[in-house]
């Protein structure tokens, strides 16, 4: 993808996602993710319905009429987007590549955060962390994140999500909202996921293609793992082989979901082309 294609794609994603964010997600995002506490704002005269425990007794005694302390939510949050850039994410057979779908979802989340004056950061990882964009605010920053996801070199290596989580926890100490995008096709350290979920609010987002779980009947075929380079022959005309392959993909997806839930982390699974705004809206409402 050349620079002109990336700019065009970023503009298209911005138009689509900002409209979705403003129409459906921004309010739910604000409700779902509260700030870090309450901070003093001002003192004003008592109004009917105010809580008695908010009365400022010193000012009330001085002016001989009731005043209350007004508190407001300490709103500013940090959102971290952890994006798998192993080679299997640079794939798609439907309307878009997985990387493009991730960029669109990340944009929608980013604009929702920006609309609530929250910071957004990015970590690109595979077998190690390859790029980091520190958390900042604003529309231009979100557009830079989208462009980075689209233009990244996707790596022929296994994705190790524990490496990204460990790096994030070592560098960004403040509690964050962590959205991890991957197809979760590689092994990972469950212990690190549990540690991260105790400190941060983590949501695993499995991004797949409709052909990930099925192999067509093309007879004997040579397969090559895009991440490890391993090659092997398989008889795809065998119904049993195709069934076992599909079942293994489903088993792995179920295991990943169970691992996230056991770690008290959120998890959702989407295919390229899905209505991701509906999935996110439902997740925010549950929160």
Q: What is the reported pLDDT for 41?
A: 58
Q: What is the reported pLDDT for 131?
A: 96
Q: What is the reported pLDDT for 38?
A: 53
Mean pLDDT by 10 residues, the chain (287 residues): 66 68 61 56 78 87 86 72 94 85 92 88 96 93 94 92 94 90 91 94 93 77 72 81 84 93 94 86 77
Number of domains in the chain: 2
223 and 272 share a domain? Answer: yes
Q: What is the reported pLDDT for 255?
A: 94
51 and 128 share a domain? Answer: no
We report the CATH number of the domain holding residue 26 as 3.40.50.410
Print the domain residue range for 59. 38-73
Q: What is the reported pLDDT for 47?
A: 82
95 and 235 share a domain? Answer: yes
223 and 240 share a domain? Answer: yes
pTM: 0.77
100 and 219 share a domain? Answer: yes
Q: What is the reported pLDDT for 218?
A: 74
- Domain end among 22, 46, 73: 73
89 and 181 share a domain? Answer: yes
Of 48, 36, 46, nearest in space to 70 by CA: 46
């Amino acid at each position: 993808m050349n620079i002109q294609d990336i700019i065009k794609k970023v503009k298209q994603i911005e138009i689509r996602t900002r409209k979705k964010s403003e129409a459906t997600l921004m309010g739910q995002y604000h409700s779902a993710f509260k700030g870090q506490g309450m901070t003093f704002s001002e003192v004003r005269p008592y109004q009917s319905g105010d809580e008695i425990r908010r009365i400022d007794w010193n000012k009330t005694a001085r002016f001989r009429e009731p005043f209350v302390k007004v508190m407001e939510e300490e709103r500013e949050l940090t959102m971290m987007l952890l994006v798998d850039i192993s080679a299997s994410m640079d794939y798609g057979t439907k309307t878009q590549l997985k990387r493009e779908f991730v960029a669109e979802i990340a944009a929608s989340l980013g604009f929702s955060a920006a609309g609530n004056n929250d910071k957004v950061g990015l970590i690109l990882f595979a077998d190690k962390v390859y790029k980091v964009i520190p958390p900042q605010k604003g529309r231009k920053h979100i557009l830079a994140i989208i462009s980075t996801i689209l233009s990244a070199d996707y790596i022929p290596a296994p994705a190790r999500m524990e490496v990204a989580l460990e790096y994030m926890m070592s560098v960004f100490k403040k509690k964050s909202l962590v959205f991890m995008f991957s197809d979760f096709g590689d092994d990972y350290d469950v212990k690190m996921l549990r540690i991260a979920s105790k400190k941060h609010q983590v949501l695993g987002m499995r991004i797949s293609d409709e052909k990930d779980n099925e192999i067509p009947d093309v007879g004997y075929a040579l397969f090559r793992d895009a991440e490890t380079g391993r090659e092997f022959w398989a008889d795809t005309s065998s119904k049993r082989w195709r069934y076992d392959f599909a079942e293994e993909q489903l088993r792995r997806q179920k295991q990943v979901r169970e691992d996230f839930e056991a770690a008290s982390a959120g998890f959702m699974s989407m295919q390229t082309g899905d209505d991701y705004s509906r999935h996110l809206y439902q997740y925010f409402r549950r929160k």
